[in-house]
Structure 1
Amino acid sequence: MWVVKIGGSLSRDPLLQTWLRELNELGGGRVVIVPGGGGFADQVREHQAVWRFDDLAAHNMAVLAMAQHALMMQGLCRRLVVAATEPQIRQALHAGRTAVWAPFGLLRQEADTLTSWDVTSDSLAAWLANRLNAERLMIVKSCAVDSECSVAQLAEKGVLDKRFAELTREASYPLDILNKNDWPCVRELLLNAVVS
């Protein structure tokens, strides 16, 4: 099973449909898409700046932003299955479909290690990959990604969030940090995985 996080920055990009189509057609039965919060999460940041509510509330609102983006993705590609729990994810994959994670289970009543802006949907994708014992984690970004940079360096540059390196430090899966234009490479990887 592969976890593919699609950055929220693609929420208004025509390439989003290309990614969804490819992951749906070639990733059925083995891909879980993690949506970024996109413009929905940007609204959370803007409202927090105005109203100064705490990071616990902001975390819960950002989780709902990810869920909204998941629903939008399914609206763009109806064959995708929105799945909120691990059993729902596994059921979708078992049926040969591509799942899109709506992380309602990460709503919190009390603050914990996930409830700060140091943890974005990138780290939540790593958290899910760890929970699901994923075979691969891909993080798709709109910005340029220097393949020579380490995860820590990408975090320093703001490409990844501050907790991502910690959550992937002992990961047994390959980790790919990709630009949105790298979908042909992902297509090739998926096709080769089918053959092997």
Structure 2
Amino acid sequence: MWVVKIGGSLCGDPLLPAWLTLLGQLGGGRIALVCGGGTLADEVRQLQERWDTDDLSAHNMAVLTMVQNAYLLNSLNPALRLVSREADITPTLRRGGVALWQPLELLRHQPDPLTNWRHTSDSIALALARRLNAERLVLVKSCTIDASLDVDQLVQAAVLDDGFGPLARQAGLPIDILSRDQGEGLRELLLFGQRTAGADHG
């Protein structure tokens, strides 16, 4: 099982359908898909700043933006099967589907270590991968990725959230970070388990 996280900022990107087609074609039985909150989550940040609300409320609102974007991805590609419970991910994969996770179980009544902006959807996807004992995590970002940078440097560059580094060091699984135009890189990972030098565009 792999966890693939599509950045919410790709929800308005013309390349999004191609990514979803690729996942639908090659991810059946092996991919748990997570979508970030994107511009909807940015609106939550702005509202929190405007009204000075607490992080717990902002966390719950941001989780719901991920749920909304999952509905969008399912509408664009119904082969991606919506699941609202982690317990339903493995059965969906066993039936040969791609499990499109809606993280409703992350809604909280009390704050915990993840209910803050240090941990965004990248960290949420990594935490899910750890809970599922996933073999690999792939993050698809809208920005250009400098392949020479390690995870900590990508955190410093604000490509990844502040909480990602410590979680990644404890994860014990390969983490691949691709940019929006590297669909061929994901294809090669899914087919061959590794990327070649020519897999930087697609």
TM range (shorter): over 0.9
**1:71-100: CA deviation from partner (whole Å, max 9, x where unpaired):** 110000011111122221111101100011
CA deviations 1:44-68 (Å, max 9, x no partner) are 1121121111110000000000000
Give runs of aligned pairs for residues 133-172 of structure 1, distance below 5 A. Answer: 133-172=133-172
- Matched residue type, 1:36: G
Q: Aligned equivalents of 1:189 and 1:129: distance in 2?
A: 17
TM-score (norm 2): 0.93
Q: Which letter does structure 2 place at the counterpart of 1:78?
A: P
SS of 1:170's equivalent in the other structure is helix
**CA–CA distance in structure 2, aligned partners of residues 146 and 87 of structure 1:** 36
For 1:43, the equivalent position in structure 2 comes to 43
Q: What TM-score results when the alignment is normalised by the length of structure 1?
A: 0.96
> Helix, strand or coil: the match of 1:181?
coil
Amino acid at match of 2:81: V
2:93 partner SS: helix
Say if 2:6 and 2:139, in contact at 8 Å, map to a contact too: yes
- Runs of 4+ in structure 1 deviating by more than 4 angstroms, as ranges, are none
The more displaced of 151-160 and 37-46 is: 37-46
Aligned to 1:61: 61
Aligned length: 193
State the AA in 1 paired with 2:87.
P
- Structure 2 CA distance, aligned partners of 1:122 and 1:188? 22
2:200: which partner in 1? none
- Give 1:170 deviation, angstroms: 2.4
Q: Which amino acid aligns with 1:185?
A: G
**Cα displacement (A) at 1:171:** 2.0
The aligned amino acid for 1:116 is N
The Cα offsets for residues 3-45 of structure 1, whole Å up to 9 and x where unpaired, read as 0110011010011111111001100000011100012111211
- Tell me how large the CA RMSD over aligned residues is: 0.9
Which runs of no fewer than 5 residues in structure 2 stay unpaired?
194-202
| Partner SS for 2:3 | strand
Amino acid at match of 2:27: G
Alpha-carbon distance in 2 for matches of 1:160, 1:70: 21
Q: Which amino acid aligns with 2:172?
A: S
1:138-162 Cα distance to aligned partner (Å, 9 max, x none): 1110111111111111101100000
Instruction: Output aligned runs, 1:1-196, within 5 Å.
Output: 1-192=1-192
Aligned equivalents of 1:172 and 1:49: distance in 2? 36
Of all paired residues, the percent bearing the same amino acid is 51
Question: 2:189 & 2:45 partners in 1: Cα distance?
Answer: 36
Three-state SS of the structure 1 residue aligned to 2:124 is helix
Aligned with 2:34: secondary structure? strand
